[in-house]
Amino acid sequence: MRWVLYPIAALLALVVLGLATLAAITLFAWPNLPSLESLTDYQPRVPLRVYTSDGYLLGEFGEERRDVVRIAEVPALLKHAILAAEDERFYEHAGVDPVGIARAALSNLTTGGRGQGASTITMQVARNFFLTREKTYNRKLYEILLSFKIEHELSKDQILELYINQIYLGQRAYGFAAAARTYYGKTLDELTLPEAAMLAGLPKAPSAFNPVVNPARAALRQQYVLRRMVETGIITPSDFENAIAAATPTRNRRDITAAGKPQESSIHGDYVAEMARQIAVEQFGDKAYELGIRIFTTVTRKDQEAAYAALRKGVMDYDRRHGYRGPEAFAELPPNDAAPEQLDELLAGRSDYDDLLAAVVLQASTKQVTVYRRGEEIEISGNGLRFAAPMLADKAPQTRRIRRGAIVRIRDTGKDGWEISQVPEVQSALVAIDPRDGAVRALVGGFDFNRSKFNHVTQGQRQPGSSFKPFIYSAALERGYGPGHVVDDEPLYFPPGVTGSQAWEPKNYDGRYAGPMTIRDALARSKNMVSIRILQDITPRYAQDYIGRFGFDSAKNPPYLPMALGAGSVTPWELAGGYAVFANGGFRVDPYVVKEIYDGNGKLIARTDPPVASESAPRVLDPRNAWLMDSMLQDVVSRGTAARARSLKRNDLAGKTGTTNDYLDAWFCGYNPDLVAVSWVGFSQPRNLGRGETGGAAALPIWIDYMRTALAGTPEIQRPRPGGLIQIEAGDGSRQDYQYAEYDPPEPPLAPDWLRQMFASDHGPALEAPEEAIPPPPIPAAQAPAPVEDRMPVPIRR
């Protein structure tokens, strides 16, 4: 009988020894457990978020995407799905589930491994906050002890709330609220049963069960969670069958950027969000990315989307006018069918640019092209081939011909189906501001932010061309000119003896000359010779000083005669501020993009309080000057180079086109009393846009498309005429016009006597001129400052 008792006694001794050892270890380890302050005073890393003024998300920045929610805000369906998948007995155990541990231990003993962990939700919280994921018995002991401590100090709902907000779920999403937004573009209360089950299956292995990276394995895990919900009585077998049958698509790779900020929002405000990010980092350093700061910008969803759509359309229309350039690249494909994995690999490094999607050609003929994209073969024919037709013809160059293996761009046009397109090389920018206080209503700094982060609105120093003429004319009004004064539109020639350098013979755009004409007509028809004669008379030095009141950098607009033709350097941002002075009646306002900043607790920590026209903004222009310039700029729209804008059927629009030498830049700057908008088209590294690509042809259509939406439903506004003006007959007798009362009746000289004598005999010998009157040599267009695409962003002027 004793031989039976000895083994039992030995076993009992081992158990006692083990318990004693465990107790000793526990007593030693317990005092060394970390404080739970990080749990009781939970301060999660919440990314910086940027919003429109009406509350729509523009972008977020930070390593961890996270939306902190309270347990009461978590739908019961999602809570049950999480518990069924991770910890069925969560509300019953004390932090450690003995049944689960026994089951895991038995599995590990029989398999000889350590694959089963039996971690409860409390244990996962302990590990995520305080420990590593290292699979050792020592770490597991600390995990168990921490779980007991957590359960002792926190309630079950507090623990579950921590888990729901902290757990990593793939795609840089931390917490279920962020995961719902990342994978489905939804809030928690919008999730369906299959979507909730999909998310609940992620904590076990976010990479392996990620529905974007591995949809097949994710679907299997989703089914497992749904079965567990049936077993625990949360849903019925019928619910299970319906959930399995329901399609649960996630957002595809194009909608989720693995590195960089997410694209959950439908608002195309990347350049605005980047400007706000720079301001936040200036104020808070790198902490800005984890403090939960929220920045509300001045842009509105309606205006921003209208600006993006208008710019996108304008650039695509320009690109189509200049023809298809051919495929982006070529890849060698096997003569027979290529495996989808191989085709996916070919496209892996090709980013999509909104609706311009990368695809690989499988078959090509003049009648039909078959392309592959992410598991799908798409056939394109008819109108879908019209743009690319020249590169499908037999005579197309082999290096540019669409053939099997070609990498092309496709675009879904809607009712007309797919078409072959291309990514434009040209760039564009549009900025719109409220002239009352400078608040930016919309800003698009380029064709696509993911293609080029260079912001052409704030960083693109370009020649403004004729869009700069209104500021010269405004200066002339202060020197005695009126809209009805007559100036000769005749050829000009400056020989080397006058310029001190090479000869300069400026021309009108169309090469035609109208003779004597009013400066009102000259501005409407953008006559270069008239602008030069006016600047010569008022002197370039006076004009250089004068433009400073509009916010322009005088150093970038040298006091030479080419200033009359916009040969200096400005940004769209500066031009918007300059035209706002005309729009608001003569007050200087500076554009700004950030309205308010809130900290992670929702406390307002900063607010922009801008000067307001007619209230606190400084007056920089005589109200008569602003009214006369507005009147002349309205003529540019009603009967001048911007007559295309009459399609908007409004009588309160004003503006000016601009085209630089060799068609390097195309501009339109326009406004009504409620809104100023500036559009620009050009190449990042300046080159010829093509003959006929003027401001009226390339930039004005973008402006019109934006304004059509932005001004929809707003009443027309006519500015009342200020006092101090008298009505006179225009110098050419064509109409009645106005000028400053104090300048009547003397008329300003058209040009210095020596200049008029110089042109009196068909470009005869130049007379000796006073030194101060000699025009300096023109600024070659090639010397104009050009943007550099990879330059670091400069500080935003606020």
For residue 117, what are the CA distances in angstroms to 121, 200, 206, 647? 12, 18, 16, 70
| Assigned token pair, 365 | 């003929």
Distances (CA, A) of 157 to 90, 199, 315, 705: 10, 19, 54, 53
CA–centroid distance for 696 within its chain: 25
Q: For residue 466, indicate whether it is catalytic.
A: yes
SS3 667: strand
- Is residue 531 annotated as part of the catalytic site, yes or no? no
Contact 464, 470 (CB under 8 A): no
Amino acid at 766: A
Distance CA 540, CA 114 (A): 83
Cis peptide before 745 (omega within 30 of 0): yes
- Tell the burial category of 427 from Cβ atoms under 10 Å away from its Cβ (0-12, 13-18, 19+): buried
Measured between alpha carbons, how far is 184 from 191 in angstroms, rounded to an integer? 8
CA 289, CA 202: separation in Å to the nearest integer? Answer: 25
Radius of gyration of the chain (CA): 35
Any idea of the CA torsion for 698, 461, 592, 625, to the nearest 10 degrees?
Answer: -70
> What CA–CA distances, in Å, run from 428 to 263, 310, 527?
22, 11, 26
Task: Could you list the beta-strand ranges (E) of 385-433.
Answer: 406-412, 418-421, 427-433
Buried b (16+ CB within 10 A) or exposed e, 11-30: eeeeeeeeeeeeeeeeeeee
Q: If we measure between CA atoms, which residue out of 775, 212, 260, 274 comes closest to residue 500? A: 775
Chain-centroid distance of CA 118 in Å reads 46
Distance CA 113, CA 351 (A): 43
Type of residue found at 585: G
- Under 8 Å CB-to-CB from 19, ≥6 apart: which residues? none
Q: How far apart are CA 244 and CA 66, in angstroms?
A: 29
Torsion over CA of 511, 514, 518 and 520, rounded to 10 degrees? -40
| Cα 355-357-363 angle, rounded to 5 deg | 135
Choice among 60, 86, 88, 305 that is catalytic: 86
* SS3 of residue 726 by DSSP: strand
Check the CA dihedral 343-344-346-350 and report its sign.
positive
What count of other Cβ atoms lies within 10 Å of the Cβ of residue 714? Answer: 12
Handedness of CA 276, 468, 542, 768 (dihedral sign): positive
Selected catalytic residue, list 147, 265, 421, 466: 466
What residues form DSSP beta bridges with 669?
Answer: 656, 678
Q: Report, as residue numbers or ranges, the catalytic residues.
A: 86, 466
